Amino acid sequence: MRCYPILGICLVVLCLTPSLYAINDYEQLCRLFKNGTLIRKPGTCNEYIDCIDGEGTIQVCPSAQNFFNPTEQKCSTVNAVTTNTYCGNRCEGLDSVWVSDPTDCQQYFYCRNGEALSGYCSGTQHFEESSQTCVYSVDSECVDVANICEILPDKTKFRNENDCSTYYECDKNGNHELKSCSTSKATKYFDVETGTCVAPNTVACTAHPKDGVCLNGSKPKSGYVTDGATCRGYFHCKDLGSVEDLNPTWYQCPEGYFFDESRGGCATATSVICTHNRCDGRGSMLVTSSSNECHNYIRCVNGLETEELTCNWDYFFDESIQACTSKIIYDGCCDGQD
């Protein structure tokens, strides 16, 4: 559903403003990008954000270089036309049109004979420059700030925080496109550090895909169901009668517990068969594998699986002592599992 940003049709504030830019914590943008990415700070030309381990630090170009070039990832000199496009008057030479405010998804400028009048979309709606309308945020392509690829290098790939199986990629025209890691044969998750699609158990994720989660074949189902990608995570599908719950709520078992769909609840990790990331929420330790009749174990580092090993001398792995033992182990997660 859309509304047009015209006074009287949807709530809009139009006013002359000496400051064209919203005040935001732009350092938080770094959570979307790989380590080492440099981002031009929205609404500026000579400032950029240095992303290290998901945290951003604002840097300023030297006075002789008035523009941070995101494609070249360095400061340089630039002409006034480009400067106006990115951090000056975006209404230069325009009349009777709306343009995006580069600092915010909800804000825009109405151009009147080259003059920029600030306005905003009501509620949680976003401004969509291509259609010249305000749209509901769920229908919006805006990510954090308008035209986000203008501040990034070409071909940058970055996270979609609403679905780990998809990601965004910037094209050479400054637009971003949503792409998928899933195929008809397998679901993979996006790894921002490598820019590739990988096995779900190698990516820390709290935004699992919801398509088909609350279906049993073609019929709706309700109750608690596994998220299909982690050992701790599960969805609650509401009972909507003959209609599928399209937006189930995701939950997570406490650390040390896994979701057991057969029981419809959480249980100790060693009692639940799960071949996803058995290191999830368990830090750096050794954990029992759901394979090879309790002879195998997995080395965890910071909650991710690094390697699977087999005990020597046909010993069994005992998670409680973090070691292999000659004692026969009958943990439910591995007993009877090839």
Provide the percentage of residues in the chain whose pLDDT is more than 90. Answer: 67
Residues 78 and 80: their CA atoms lie apart, in Å, by 7
For 196-225, write each residue's pLDDT tens digit: 999 887 888 889 999 999 999 999 999 999
Give 16's pLDDT tier (boundaries 50, 70, 90).
very low
SS3 category, 94: coil
> H helices within the chain, ranges in order?
80-87
Question: Is 80 exceeded by the pLDDT of residue 18?
Answer: no
Give 236's pLDDT tier (boundaries 50, 70, 90).
very high
- φ/ψ of residue 202, rounded to 5: -105, 5
Which CA distances in Å does 156 have to 29, 32, 33, 83, 170?
Answer: 14, 11, 9, 22, 5
Question: Is 80 exceeded by the pLDDT of residue 85?
Answer: no
Q: Do 75 and 68 form a contact (C-beta atoms < 8 A)?
A: yes
Question: Is 50 exceeded by the pLDDT of residue 317?
Answer: yes
**Which one is predicted more confidently, 25 or 52?**
52
What is the pLDDT, as a whole number, of residue 7? 32
Look at the block and give the residue holding tokens 């008035």: 66
DSSP-derived secondary structure letter, 53: T
SS3 category, 306: strand
Question: Is 80 exceeded by the pLDDT of residue 23?
Answer: no
Question: Is 90 exceeded by the pLDDT of residue 83?
Answer: no
Provide the percentage of residues in the chain whose pLDDT is more than 70. Answer: 91
Q: Give the chain's count of helices (H) and strands (E).
A: 1, 29
Residue among 160, 193, 156 at smallest CA distance from 178: 160
What is the pLDDT, as a whole number, of residue 185? 84
For 32-74, write each residue's pLDDT tens digit: 999 999 999 988 888 999 999 989 999 999 988 888 988 889 9
What is the pLDDT, as a whole number, of residue 8? 34
DSSP-derived secondary structure letter, 254: P
Average of per-residue pLDDT across 165-188: 91
Q: Which structure tokens are listed for 290?
A: 């759901």
Beta bridge partners of residue 258, listed in sequence order: 267
Question: Is 70 exceeded by the pLDDT of residue 260?
Answer: yes
The pTM assigned to this predicted structure is 0.78
Give 79's pLDDT tier (boundaries 50, 70, 90).
low
Residue among 213, 212, 234, 160 at smallest CA distance from 191: 160
Q: Do 264 and 223 form a contact (C-beta atoms < 8 A)?
A: yes
Mean predicted lDDT score pLDDT of the chain: 88
Q: Do 219 and 240 form a contact (C-beta atoms < 8 A)?
A: no
HSE-up of residue 72 (Cα within 13 Å, Cβ side): 8
What is the pLDDT, as a whole number, of residue 5? 39
Question: Is 50 exceeded by the pLDDT of residue 181?
Answer: yes
Give 10's pLDDT tier (boundaries 50, 70, 90).
very low
Give 24's pLDDT tier (boundaries 50, 70, 90).
low
Q: Which structure tokens are listed for 255?
A: 């650390």
